[in-house]
Amino acid sequence: MAPPTEMRFSGWGVEADAGELSDSVIAWLEGRFAAKLAQPVAPPRAAEVRLGKSQSSKRILGELAARVGATNVRTDHYARLTHCAGKGYPDLLAMRSGRKLAAPDAVVYPGDAADVRAVLKTCSKQGIAVVPFGGGTSVVGGVTPLRGEFDSVIALDLSRMRQLISLDAKSRIGCFAAGLRGPELEHLLRARGYTLGHFPQSFEYSTVGGWVATRSAGQASSGYGRIDEKLLGARLVAPAGDLKLAARPASAAGPDLRALVAGSEGALGVITEASLEISPAPEVTRYEALMTPSFSAASEALRTLEQEGHTADVARASDETETEMGLAFAGIEGTRGKLLEGYLRGRGAGSGALVILGWEGASGTIDARRRAALRILKQEGAVGLGAGAGRAWAKRRFSTPYLRDHLLERSVMVETLETSTTWSNLMQLYRGVGDALTAHAPIVGCHISHLYDSGASLYFTFIAQQDRGNPLGQWQAAKDEACDAIVAHGGTITHHHAIGIDHRRYLKAEDGTAGVSALRAVKKSLDPRGLMNPGKLL
pLDDT score recorded for residue 330: 79
Q: What is the mean pLDDT of residues 442-449?
A: 97
CA dihedral 481, 85, 418, 290 (to 10 degrees): 130
CA nearest neighbour of 87 among 32, 138, 22:
138
Q: Taking the domains of the chain in order of start, what are their residue ranges?
A: 46-157, 164-280, 284-397, 401-502
Distance CA 291, CA 367 (A): 20
Indicate the CATH number of 284-397 among 3.40.50.2300, 3.40.462.40, 3.40.50.300, 3.40.50.720: 3.40.462.40
The answer on pLDDT for 69 being more than 80 is: yes
Instruction: Please provide the DSSP assignment of 229-274 as one string.
Output: HHEEEEEEEETTEEEEE---S---SSS-THHHHTT-TTSS-EEEEE
Predicted confidence band of residue 145 (pLDDT cuts 50, 70, 90): very high
> What pLDDT score was predicted for residue 331?
64
Q: pLDDT band for position 403 (50/70/90)?
A: very high
Fold observed for domain 401-502: GMP Synthetase; Chain A, domain 3 (3.30.300)
- CATH number, domain 46-157: 3.30.43.10
DSSP 423-438: GGGHHHHHHHHHHHHH
Is the pLDDT assigned to residue 417 strictly greater than 70?
A: yes
- 3-state SS, residue 456: strand
pLDDT for 366 equals 94
- Give the lowest-confidence range in 15-24, 100-109, 301-310: 15-24
Render pLDDT for 381-398 as a digit per residue (tens, 0 to 9). 999 999 998 999 999 899
pLDDT of residue 329: 84
Q: Which residues contact 217 (CB under 8 A, 6 or more apart)?
A: 200, 226, 227, 450, 457, 495, 496
Check residue 350 and give its pLDDT: 53
For 64-73, what is the mean pLDDT?
97
Rounded Cα gap, residues 86 and 172, in angstroms: 33
CB 180 within 8 A of CB 208: yes
Per-residue pLDDT tens digits for 320-331: 999 999 988 876
Q: What is the pLDDT of residues 308-363, one digit of tens each?
A: 999 999 999 999 999 999 988 876 544 344 444 544 454 554 579 999 999 999 99
| Residue 1 pLDDT exceeds 50 | yes
Tell me the pLDDT of the chain averaged across its residues.
94
Is the model's pLDDT at 79 over the cut of 70?
A: yes
Average pLDDT over residues 26-51: 96
Q: Write down the pLDDT at residue 241.
A: 97
Q: What is the pTM of this model?
A: 0.95
pLDDT of 334: 46
- Sign of the alpha-carbon dihedral angle for 133, 136, 142, 146: positive
Q: Is the pLDDT of residue 538 over 50?
A: yes
Residue 237 pLDDT > 80, yes or no? yes
For 152, other C-beta atoms within 10 Å of its C-beta total 18
**Contact present, 14 and 7 (Cβ < 8 Å):** yes
Classify domain 164-280 by CATH number. Answer: 3.30.465.10
Averaged over 79-102, what is the pLDDT? 96
What is the structure's pLDDT at 328? Answer: 86
Whether the pLDDT of residue 262 is over 80: the answer is: yes
* Residue 239 Cα distances to 6, 116, 390, 531, angstroms: 28, 10, 47, 8
